[in-house]
Every structure is written in structure tokens, then in C-alpha cells.
Amino acid sequence: MPRFAANLTMLFNELEFVDRFEAAAKAGFRGVEYLFPYAFSKDQLAEQLGQHDLVQVLHNLPAGDWAQGERGIAVKPDRVGEFQEGVGKAIEYAKALGCSQVNCLAGIRPAGVAEHKLQETLVANLCFAADQLQAAGIRLLVEAINTRDIPGFYLCGTQQTADVLAATGSDNVYLQYDIYHMQRMEGELAATLEKHLPRIAHIQLADNPGRHEPGTGEINYPFLFGHLDRLGYDGWIGCEYKPLTTTAEGLGWVTVLGR
């Protein structure tokens, strides 16, 4: 079965963030991911990982002003300098935390900018990030997100994202495939995973509707996990869902499906 990583942004969120590492380890998770590490010191986070024998699986590049609704800046022509500075910051944290991959959120489409300019900006930013990260031994991931939850998000389909990756010409840029987001946007989960598996470096999950844990909605997770086994996927799967009640009460799906 795949290896599951607890997304500490969404799981165990009744606890202070630094206490969620211990809770994840006690629940049986061996890996963790979360949106951003930058509000905490590198030493503080590294101590939590080491103390609880956890692998830092993933975090995102800086994504602008999250509190004000920004969801990435890689597509914004007027933020290139900020994006490049963020790549350097992400590398510093990833090295300190032993994190071998970081994710880029493209961002919400800015108004009044021509499509070709948005595409050129995104591709150029990804080329810069891929080169800088490769020199540091870190993989760059890029994620498509559904436009029902985040209206206007620039990358919202698997093939669209794969085409952007191809346009970079880099061998250090990969797909992060989020099952929940792509169920909402396009369905065809099994076929899409099979088609794009060579470029998929990380998977995230939640059920639909509601973005709760597997078994609460319409997605056939036992089938999908078996499908990924048959395809030979050996990466992590990030549990990026909103617990229906509490995290602990909702973890029965992990026991049933195995780790």
C-alpha cells in the first residue's frame, strides 16, 4: 500500500501547530507535509521531525499574502522578483528539514493580463525554480487546483499542467496530483493517474463532496489505492482533508486500507 503523510495544516488542527508532529507520529504516520514552514524557525521544525522520527515530505514555495487571499504568485508578471526570493527561502527550509521536494502554487489569474504573458511568466518562473532546486537536490512540483474552491486559479487541469511542465523543458519539474481537486474538475481519476504517472511525484487525497477523509464521499479509494499499487506508484500520498469530526475519530480508513 502507499505511504501516507499527515498534512499538518489540516489534520490535528485542534492542537497548536508544533504539537501536531507528535500527534501524527502517535497516530502511526511516518511522514508529514503542510502548506508553509516559514512562520517557524528551521531549528524548531527540524527538532520536531527528529524527535518524532518523521520525514518532511513536502511544503510549498512562498505563495504571497495567504491571509489576504493570494494563492501563489508564479503566474503574476509583476511579482517575479518576489517569486525568485521565495525560491531561495524555500531551499533554505527544505535543506534544513531534509525535504526533497517543494510544491509551486501558480496562483489566481490576475485581471487585465494577456494569456500569453501569464503563460510566459509561469514557464519562466518554473524554469528558474527548477534549476535552483535541482542544484540543491530538490524536486519542483506543480499542482492543479479546482476552480470551485479557488475561483480563477490558473492551473486547473492535469493535461494543462503537464503541458506547462513540458514547456519548461526541465527534467526537474513534476506533477503533484490532488485526487480531490481533479475529481471536482475532470474525474477520470484512474485513467489520468495511469497516463501521467511517469511525471507524478506526489499525490494528495480527500473525498468529495466535503473534502473529508476517504470513505465519506463518492471516491472509490480502495480501488484507487489498488490501482496505484498495480501501476507501481511508490511515492507518498498526503492526507490533505478536513476531518469530518476529529482527526483521531476519522483515522479508521487508514487502518482498513493499511499503511
Cell 474525474: give the residue.
Answer: 187
Q: Which residues pair with 101 in a beta bridge?
A: 139
Per the CB < 8 A criterion, the answer to whether 103 and 139 are in contact is: no
CA quadruple 183, 186, 190, 192: dihedral positive or negative? Answer: negative
Range 97-115 average pLDDT: 97
Q: Is-cis flag, bond preceding 209, omega within 30?
A: yes
Say whether pLDDT at 1 is over 90: no
> What percentage of the chain exceeds 90 in pLDDT?
97
Q: Which of 120, 188, 240, 249 is catalytic?
A: 240
Say whether pLDDT at 80 is over 60: yes
* Residue-number span of the structural domain to which 196 is assigned: 3-257
Report how far residue 31's alpha carbon sits from residue 21's, in angstroms, rounded to the nearest whole number: 9
Between the CA of residue 69 and those of 66, 108, 133, 150, 215, what are the distances in Å? 5, 9, 26, 9, 30
Range 14-37 average pLDDT: 97
Query: Which pLDDT belongs to residue 186?
Result: 97
HEC-encoded secondary structure of the chain:
CCEEEEECCCCCCCCCHHHHHHHHHHCCCCEEECCCCCCCCHHHHHHHHHHCCCEEEEEECCCCCHHHCCCCCCCCHHHHHHHHHHHHHHHHHHHHHCCCEEEECCCECCCCCCHHHHHHHHHHHHHHHHHHHHHCCCEEEEECCCCCCCCCECCCCHHHHHHHHHHHCCCCEEEEEEHHHHHHHCCCHHHHHHHHHHHEEEEEECCCCCCCCCCCCCCCHHHHHHHHHHHCCCCEEEECCCCCCCCCCCCHHHHHHCC
Cell of 94: 527544505
Per the CB < 8 A criterion, the answer to whether 145 and 178 are in contact is: yes
**Mean of per-residue pLDDT scores for the chain:** 96
Query: Which pLDDT belongs to residue 259?
Result: 46
Query: Which pLDDT belongs to residue 30?
Result: 96
Report how far residue 171's alpha carbon sits from residue 181's, in angstroms, rounded to the nearest whole number: 25
Name the domain count of the chain: 1
Say whether pLDDT at 124 is over 50: yes
Query: Which pLDDT belongs to residue 254?
Result: 86
Summarize pLDDT for 43-75 with one digit per residue, the tens.
999 999 999 999 999 999 999 999 999 999 999
Report how far residue 129's alpha carbon sits from residue 36's, in angstroms, rounded to the nearest whole number: 17
Say whether pLDDT at 241 is over 80: yes
Query: Which pLDDT belongs to residue 158?
Result: 98
Per the CB < 8 A criterion, the answer to whether 69 and 44 are in contact is: no
User: Among candidates 255, 257, 245, which has minimal Cα distance to 219?
Assistant: 257
pLDDT-derived band at 130 (thresholds 50, 70, 90) equals: very high
Summarize pLDDT for 182-237 with one digit per residue, the tens.
999 999 999 999 999 999 999 999 999 999 999 999 999 999 999 999 999 999 99
Query: Which pLDDT belongs to residue 155?
Result: 98
Query: Which pLDDT belongs to residue 258?
Result: 53
Per the CB < 8 A criterion, the answer to whether 28 and 247 are in contact is: no
CATH number for the domain spanning 113: value is: 3.20.20.150
Range 84-110 average pLDDT: 98
Query: Which pLDDT belongs to residue 255?
Result: 79
Catalytic status, residue 143: yes
Q: Which of 82, 85, 143, 249 is catalytic?
A: 143
Summarize pLDDT for 149-186 with one digit per residue, the tens.
999 999 999 999 999 999 999 999 999 999 999 999 99
Catalytic status, residue 240: yes
Q: Which residues pair with 205 in a beta bridge?
A: 239
Query: Which pLDDT belongs to residue 2?
Result: 72
